[in-house]
Amino acid sequence: MPDVRQGGCLCGAARYEINVEGHKTGNCHCVDCQKNSGAAFMPFMTVDAGQFRWLAMPSGAYVSSDKVIRRFCTVCGSPITWESKEKPDNQSVSLGSLDRVEGIEITYEIYTRSRLKNILPVAEARQYEGDNG
């Protein structure tokens, strides 16, 4: 059964709808995500691209590498999506941009080799030193 939720940026200029059924949710500890989020790590959710649609697309896009586009709101600065050029069938969203996060659990953590020393692993979450493939 679909579990359709909405999300968006802090100011409301960018909005999306996402079916979270079958989601994969994790924390990324890579340096790029640390800088993008301004935090120790970035919690994100990935679904099939067909389970995501923009209601109001954000005005900002940053190509942070030859493989990644990060979309954000230029009004309030909220990071919203991470889009892989290598995996266009997937859509990743910043977990904090969802309006409702109940029932969503972190099941894995990636780039743990960049984890800040005082941040403990999430209990029972799979740990990967790099990408989880």
Note the pLDDT tens digit of each residue in 28-73.
999 999 999 999 999 999 999 999 999 999 999 999 889 999 999 9
CATH of the domain at 18: 2.170.150.70
pTM listed for this prediction: 0.92
How many structural domains are present in the chain? 1
pLDDT of residue 106: 97
Question: Minimal CA–CA distance to 20: which of 124, 125, 98, 109?
Answer: 98
In a domain, 105, yes or no: yes
Q: Are strands 108-110 and 90-94 parallel, antiparallel or unpaired?
A: unpaired
In a domain, 19, yes or no: yes
Tell me: the pLDDT tens digits for 23-40?
A: 999 999 999 999 999 999
Q: Is the pLDDT of residue 133 over 70?
A: no
Q: Can you tell me which residue has the tokens 């904090």?
A: 96
Q: How far apart are CA 56 and CA 12, in angstroms?
A: 9
